[in-house]
Structure 1
Amino acid sequence: MGVYHGVAGHAPLGMLLCPPLGQALMRTHRIYRQLATSLAARGICVLRFDYRGSGDSAGDSRALDWQHCLADIRSAAAELRVRSGCAAVIGFGAQLGGGLALAAAPAVGFAQLILWDPVLDGAQHVAELDAWQEGLRHDPQHYVRPRTAQEAAGQWLGFPVSPHWRAQVAAWRAEPARVPTLVVDSLLQPAASGWSPLVEAGARVVAMRPGVHWGDLHRLEHAILAPDLLRLVNEAVEQAA
Structure 2
Amino acid sequence: MGMYHGVAGHAPVGMLLCPPLGQALMRTHRIYRQLATGLAARGICALRFDYRGSGDSAGDSLALDWQHCLADIRSAAAELRVRSGCATVIGFGAQLGGSLALAAAPAVGFTRLILWDPVLDGARHVAELDAWQEELRNDPLHYARPRSAADADGQWLGFPVSPHWRAQLSAWRAEPARIPVLIVDSLPEAMAGGWSPLVEAGAQVATMRPGTHWGDLHRLEHAILAPDLLRLVGEAVEQAA
TM range (shorter): over 0.9
Q: TM-score, normalised by structure 2?
A: 0.98
* Secondary structure in 2 matching 1:70: helix
2:194 corresponding residue in structure 1? 194
- How has the CA–CA distance of structure 1 residues 35 and 120 changed in structure 2, closer, same or farther, with 3 Å as cutoff? same
- One-letter amino acid of the counterpart of residue 123, structure 1: A
Deviates more, 1:120-129 or 1:187-196: 187-196
Unmatched 5+ residue regions in structure 1? none
- One-letter amino acid of the counterpart of residue 9, structure 2: G
Unmatched 5+ residue regions in structure 2? none
- One-letter amino acid of the counterpart of residue 223, structure 1: A
- How has the CA–CA distance of structure 1 residues 191 and 168 changed in structure 2, closer, same or farther, with 3 Å as cutoff? closer
2:113 corresponding residue in structure 1? 113
Kept in 2, the 8 Å contact 1:188–1:207? The answer is no
Distance in 2 separating the partners of 1:238 and 1:187: 25
Count residues with an aligned counterpart: 241
* Secondary structure in 1 matching 2:194: helix
- One-letter amino acid of the counterpart of residue 180, structure 2: P
* 1:57-76 equivalences in 2 (<5 Å): 57-76=57-76
- How has the CA–CA distance of structure 1 residues 105 and 189 changed in structure 2, closer, same or farther, with 3 Å as cutoff? farther
Distance in 2 separating the partners of 1:211 and 1:13: 29
Compute the displacement of 1:190 (Å).
7.2
2:18 corresponding residue in structure 1? 18
Compute the displacement of 1:45 (Å).
0.4
* 1:160-199 equivalences in 2 (<5 Å): 160-188=160-188, 193-199=193-199
1:41 corresponding residue in structure 2? 41
Distance in 2 separating the partners of 1:97 and 1:125: 13
Kept in 2, the 8 Å contact 1:182–1:205? The answer is yes
Distance in 2 separating the partners of 1:193 and 1:207: 10
1:133 corresponding residue in structure 2? 133
- One-letter amino acid of the counterpart of residue 112, structure 1: R
Distance in 2 separating the partners of 1:191 and 1:26: 22
1:56 corresponding residue in structure 2? 56
Kept in 2, the 8 Å contact 1:70–1:103? The answer is yes
Structure 1 ranges of 4+ moved more than 3 A: 188-193
- One-letter amino acid of the counterpart of residue 117, structure 2: D
- Aligned CA RMSD, in angstroms, stands at 1.1
Distance in 2 separating the partners of 1:156 and 1:190: 23
Distance in 2 separating the partners of 1:156 and 1:103: 23
